[in-house]
Structure 1
Amino acid sequence: MKVIKFGGSSLSDGASFTNAINIITSDPERRVVVTSAPGKRYSDDIKVTDLLIKYAEMTMAKKDTTEIVTIIFNRYKEIGNFFGIADEELFVIRDILIDLANTDYPNNDYLMAAFKAHGERLNARLMAKILQAKGFNARFVDPLEVGLYVTGTPNNASVVPAAYRALRRFEFSDDEIIIFPGFFGVTLTKNIATFARGGSDITGAILARAFRADIYENFTDVDAIYSANPALVDNPYAIKKMTYREMRELSYAGFSVFHDEALIPAIGGNIPINVRNTNNPDAPGTLIVPENGFEPETTLTGIASSKNFGALYLHKYLLNKETGVTFRILEILNDLGISYEHMPSGIDDITIIFDKQFLTEEIVDELCTRIQKEIEPDRLEWIRNYAIIMMVGEGLAKRVGIIAPALQSLYDKGIDIQMVNQGASRISFMLGTKREDVDAAVKAIYDRFFNQEI
């Protein structure tokens, strides 16, 4: 049995729905389908999720929402009409949209979560209706109905073990196609809560694990996961097979095809993941598998980069002789509610790397003030334009001296490296550099390890 998920670009209009339906019905093993909300139909289009966010904001501001409801409903109506579904059969979608604004929520965060989730929820309902009209035994299944339970904040939910037990009790017949909305679950108090990132990917992985699927097929708009960003490198190497941990490392550092958090449920169930293209379903895509028994074809599997980092550098002579310094720094971070990404250190130096999306200028100022007062460094510097490059590959653990050619390729291009850090797994190297240098650095490393080596 296969669980398959379609991204927003794969379900944006009638034509893309047709591709998805052909994929679903071409293989009887594809039994559980996870839908995203309709994405952009063209470059200047607006995603349905963004329209729902606007609808939520207007509702909270007590503004007239008649027009925005019509705009959102028309996205679904156009898809339904493409398949000959009469308007009268689609009015249930309009009524659900209207009811959103008339429902009581514990607070505005839960309101926002409920509105956002309906992009997926209504698309799943529409997909089931279209499949039924085509003569297939399809059933829309709601997370509330089967008990996909989550905890956490309304817009940053996490699945709980009870959800897997509830899902395993769910029964469906051999000829049924189950259509399940992605992106959200329900709290134990029956409120909708959404996953933070890669929400529909996470739902697909949860269902694949719960139903013990043979494979989880994740359909998107690219033929494969590539070894480098195609916007930076011309015709990058398409990765045929990679491990869970390779994908996790690369997703963390900037790979956007598959979010790192979405892998966790599949990893827990040891479910292989196949990333494929809705618009080119015959392409084999990229297979993501456990590392046991995996044999890498190349030294590097991929190179990723991210510019959204900042770093706090502190220097203090005899830092290595002073006990408890790192502990006191961690206490300060804990007091301020700040998480950090990495903390490479030397005998007199520590660099703390942060994801800037979780920081404000005020928090950074308070952090620097506390560090200066309590640690008393000889030098303290906040580096705002920090970027990281992640070199990842199971083959790294089997090859000695891999960092030398990488650094040489950067030296040849005049690129300064501010930090080098090898992961404990030995399958990744992290390089820190200036934001303005990171794109050229990725190109240089790619050229050395893929154009020259492969």
Structure 2
Amino acid sequence: MARVVKFGGSSLANGEQYEKVVNIVLADPERRVVVVSAPGKRFDIDTKVTDLLIQYAKSTPGSSEFFAVQKELISRYQNIADYFKISEKDFQGIADIISNLSSTFSGEDDYRLAYFKAHGEHLNAILMAMVLNQLGHQARFAGPAELGLYVEGQPNAATVLEESYTNLKNFEYSDDEILVVPGFYGMTKDGQMATFARGGSDITGSIVARGLGIKLYENFTDVSAVYVANPHIIEEPVSIKQMTYREMRELSYSGFSVFNDEAIIPAIQGQVTINVKNTNRPTDPGTLIVPEKDFEAEYPITGVTNSDHFSALYLHRYLLNQEVGMTLKLLQIFYKYNISYEHMPSGIDDLTVIFDNRQLNEEMIERLCADIKDALNPDVMQWIDDYTIIMIVGEGMFKKPTIITDAIASLTNNGVPINMINQGASQISTMLGTKRAYGKKAVSLIYQHFFNKNEQEA
């Protein structure tokens, strides 16, 4: 059974890491489709190739900065090519593409940045195919144009078109060749490169797996598993052996950065099992992300995380619940400013709207609040920046109704105030709001209650 295997930027940062990737691909003949990111950081103060490309796109052609970044970009790929003894003649094509990026771009200005950024993955896929062929294996570059992977929407926040899956289903490749696919971008119908917003290579891997009808997608990162809690908060947290799509989406949304939450969607649609694994420890079993059917939870909760990139708008007015069209007025204002809300817990006289504050700025917040005040005339209106969200997630939660009361008690008994509680109808996640200063403490207390306790009982 063929597999899709994706490698992140840290796995492809230099020749030594590249060699690990090549060995992983060649260790299993079922790894027939390889999705690559752009080379990442080689050390802490290094610059990712994608960031270099952004700088390259914004620099003035012909300037000293322009040529300095160009030289650095060529060097990053050249060092990897030299590690595998790629000939100067074979590598020259990559160098020429980098040197001519500015002059060869012929699209609309909005697509210029996407065009430059996409070439981080594009060139790395060309280089990976070159390396595999150099080592005596039949490999083929298969970019979005060849695959028929079409996208629409914003040039730097594209979404896949449904017809891409039909194109991928009809894409022909032989059993004895390795396809190397660049992550992060697709092609518009008029031939422009457009990138996905975040975690783009994860998204590409899921799209390709669904489209090609491949049921196992191995996503290699720099960690050996998805953990129950952030290792920067909890020392050596419990690793998750299996989790569901729903659990991963909830946890990714609220802070888990191992796998992109949007990338889950094509996998769900294609019922593709995802295996998160470690490039540096490839034999570790990793974490399986699987459909909900027949799933049995190992612990009462699967994960707990916190995220600080939220703000809240609190509104209070007596008889607020009796006003017909009140929510519509709010939504119309949000639409006016082209912003989305995350959650809207309410009472009979109170309403809290939670926003991802990465889409806001101070001027927008000021104008937004003024419009809401004029439209709803609340008795109390408060914008809360000092806000963190604690997300408790687990398929097993609905079977044990005391889990949430236990979690809240573990916080309130230790001085962590709860400002908001919100639970969805599926009962696999509960959101708690508190001040940012309490975020890490809250995660630690909930972890200790559910996991240290379980370990002691075991």
Please, what TM-score do these two structures have when normalized by structure 2? 0.97
CA distance in 1, matches of 2:9, 2:353: 36
Match of 2:326 in 1: 325
After superposition, give the CA deviation of every residue in 1:82-124 in whole Å (9 maximum; x if it has no partner).
Answer: 1111223211111001221102433332110010011111111
Q: 1:9-20 maps to which residues of 2 (within 5 A)?
A: 9-20=10-21
- Give structure 1 stretches of 5+ with no counterpart: none
Q: Distance in 1 between matches of 2:119 and 2:323?
A: 55
Structure 2 match to 1:165: 166
Cα contact 2:105–2:115 (8 A) shared by 1 = no
* 1:157-187 deviation digits (Å, cap 9, x = unpaired): 1111111111122111111011110000000
Alignment coverage as a number of residue pairs:
454
Q: Which residue of 2 aligns with 1:372?
A: 373
Partner of 1:298: 299
Distance across 1 between alignment mates of 2:226 and 2:172: 34
1:361 and 2:355 aligned: no
Distance 1:307 1:228, change over 3 A: same
CA RMSD of aligned residues (A): 1.2
| 1:187-206 alignment, distance < 5 Å | 187-206=188-207
Cα distance in 2 between the residues matched to 1:445 and 1:163: 43
Counterpart position of 2:148: 147
Mark the CA change 1:63 to 1:158 in structure 2 (over 3 Å): closer, same or farther: farther
Matches within 5 A, 1:178-217: 178-217=179-218
Residue 422 of structure 2 aligns to a residue in which SS? strand
The Cα offsets for residues 225-251 of structure 1, whole Å up to 9 and x where unpaired, read as: 000000000111100000000000000
**8 Å CA contact 2:15, 2:83 repeated in 1:** yes
Counterpart of 1:68 in structure 2 is 69
Mapped to 2, the partners of 1:141 and 1:321 lie a distance apart of: 58
1:107 aligns with 2:108: yes
Would the aligned equivalents of 1:225 and 1:239 in 2 still touch at CA under 8 Å? yes
CA deviations on 1:301-323 (whole Å, 9 max, x unpaired) are 00111101110001101212222
Once residues 391 and 62 of structure 2 are traced to their aligned partners in structure 1, the CA distance between those partners, rounded to angstroms, is 43
Report deviation, 1:64: 5.6
> How many angstroms apart in 1 are the aligned matches of 2:180 and 2:365?
45
Q: Secondary structure at the match of 1:3?
A: strand
Cα-to-partner distance string for 1:177-222 (whole Å, 9 max, x where unaligned): 1111000000000000000011000000011001111300000100
Q: Which residue of 2 aligns with 1:447?
A: 448
Residues 73-152 of structure 1 correspond to what in structure 2 (within 5 A)?
Answer: 73-152=74-153
Q: Distance between the aligned counterparts of 2:46 and 2:101, measured in 1?
A: 24
Cα distance change of structure 1 residues 444 and 188 upon mapping to structure 2, 3 Å threshold: same
* Larger CA deviation: 410-419 vs 217-226: 410-419
Q: Compared with structure 1, are the counterparts of its residues 331 and 61 closer, same or farther at alpha carbon in structure 2 (3 Å cutoff)? A: farther
Counterparts in 2 of 1:370 and 1:264: CA distance versus 1, 3 Å: same
Displacement of 1:63 in angstroms is 6.6
Deviates more, 1:315-324 or 1:413-422: 315-324
Higher mean Cα deviation, 345-354 or 396-405?
A: 396-405
Gaps of 5+ in 2: none
After superposition, residues 249-288 of structure 1 pair within 5 angstroms as 249-288=250-289
1:243-266 per-residue CA deviation (whole Å, 9 max, x = no partner) reads 000000000001000010011111
Check whether the contact 1:241–1:288 (CA below 8 A) recurs between aligned residues. yes
Tell me what 1:344 maps to. 345
Query: Take 2:309 and 2:406, find their aligned partners in 1: how far apart are those partners?
Result: 26
Give me the whole-angstrom Cα distance separating, in 1, the residues matched to 2:110 and 2:58. 11
User: Partners of 1:176 and 1:85 in 2: how far apart?
Assistant: 20
Q: Residue deviations 1:351-389, cap 9 Å, x none?
A: 000000011111111111111111111100000121101
Kindly provide the CA deviation profile for residues 244-290 of structure 1, in whole angstroms up to 9, marking residues without a partner as x: 00000000001000010011111110000000001000000000000
- The answer to whether 1:224 aligns with 2:230 is no
- Quick one: distance in 2 between partners of 1:233 and 1:309? 22
Structure-1 separation of matches of 2:443 and 2:108: 44
In structure 2, what is the equivalent of residue 412 of structure 1?
Answer: 413
